[in-house]
Amino acid sequence: MVSENKAAYPTRSPKRWVIGITGASGAIYGITLCRQLLNAGFHLHLVVSDAGWRVLKEELGWNVSNRLECVNSAFGSAVSEGRMTYHPLNDIGASIASGSFICEGMAIVPCSMGSLSAIASGASTNLLTRAADVMLKEGRPLLIVPRETPLHAIHLENMLKLSRLGVRIIPAMPAFYNGPQSIEDIVHFIVGKTMDNMGIEHNLYKRWGQPNE
């Protein structure tokens, strides 16, 4: 007979998200999202594709020769305090590769068309795409911020396929009704829209109809 002792069931952590950064332009979106989530008290598990590291170097000027040191430098005490865990791309035995790893979901920000294609086809070729596959099979939230233009039919078909599976597709398309005055304002809008879809409160951008303060 199965025991009804509730202690036998795993304890759910409502403060844990997996964040993926791939080789699409716009790595600043992913880094900003991580910082916002850390400031809000969430625990993060970060995985970055090889192309993602190239974009961090080219767009943000990061020295990525030592990736772990790079993460330590970018997120400081969050790493030493255990609030940020970095997983190498090829560590297929990492915790986030298993469905038994309990988390709120995963956001891939930004997401390249190559990674999106792999996820849509179920090709778990590395830890990032495996973690995304886990979200799908476990029925957990998966959010993707694609950054590509123009889009051809294969891109659109892959996004439609994932959308039909319940994946939230949040294109990196900034709005201008909020009167952005800087690149930071534009970045905050995309990150804010992502956090909206994660169900996380923020004040990163002025919403439509919101009065000036």
Domains parsed from the chain with CATH numbers: 13-198 (3.40.50.1950)
Calculated CA dihedral for residues 96, 98, 100, 104, nearest 10 degrees: 40
> Given a cut of 50, is residue 57 above it in pLDDT?
yes
User: Could you tell me which of 99, 168, 84 has the C-alpha nearest to residue 135?
Assistant: 99
> Given a cut of 90, is residue 10 above it in pLDDT?
no
> Given a cut of 60, is residue 2 above it in pLDDT?
no
Q: Is 112 annotated as a binding residue?
A: yes
* Percent above pLDDT 70 for the chain: 92
Cα–Cα dist 109/190, whole Å: 10
Q: Is 49 annotated as a binding residue?
A: yes
Mean per-residue pLDDT, 90-99: 96
- How is the chain split among helix, strand and coil, in percent rounded to 5? 45, 15, 45
Cα–Cα dist 156/102, whole Å: 31
Half-sphere exposure of residue 154: CA atoms within 13 angstroms, side-chain side: 7
Q: Is 35 annotated as a binding residue?
A: no
Cα–Cα dist 85/45, whole Å: 5
Mean per-residue pLDDT, 69-78: 92
Reported confidence tier of residue 143, pLDDT bands at 50, 70, 90 = very high
> Given a cut of 80, is residue 59 above it in pLDDT?
yes
Beta bridge partners of residue 168, listed in sequence order: 143
Q: Is 115 annotated as a binding residue?
A: yes
Q: Is 164 annotated as a binding residue?
A: no
Q: Is 153 annotated as a binding residue?
A: no
pLDDT score recorded for residue 213: 55
Q: Is 23 annotated as a binding residue?
A: yes
Q: Is 61 annotated as a binding residue?
A: no
CB atoms closer than 10 angstroms to residue 52: 25
pLDDT score recorded for residue 17: 98
> Given a cut of 90, is residue 43 above it in pLDDT?
yes
pTM of the predicted protein model: 0.91
pLDDT score recorded for residue 106: 98
Q: Is 52 annotated as a binding residue?
A: no
* Predicted confidence (pLDDT) per residue in 178-200, tens digit: 899 999 999 999 999 999 999 99
pLDDT score recorded for residue 208: 85
Phi, psi torsion values for 46, nearest 5 degrees: -105, 135
Mean per-residue pLDDT, 101-112: 97
Mean per-residue pLDDT, 119-138: 97
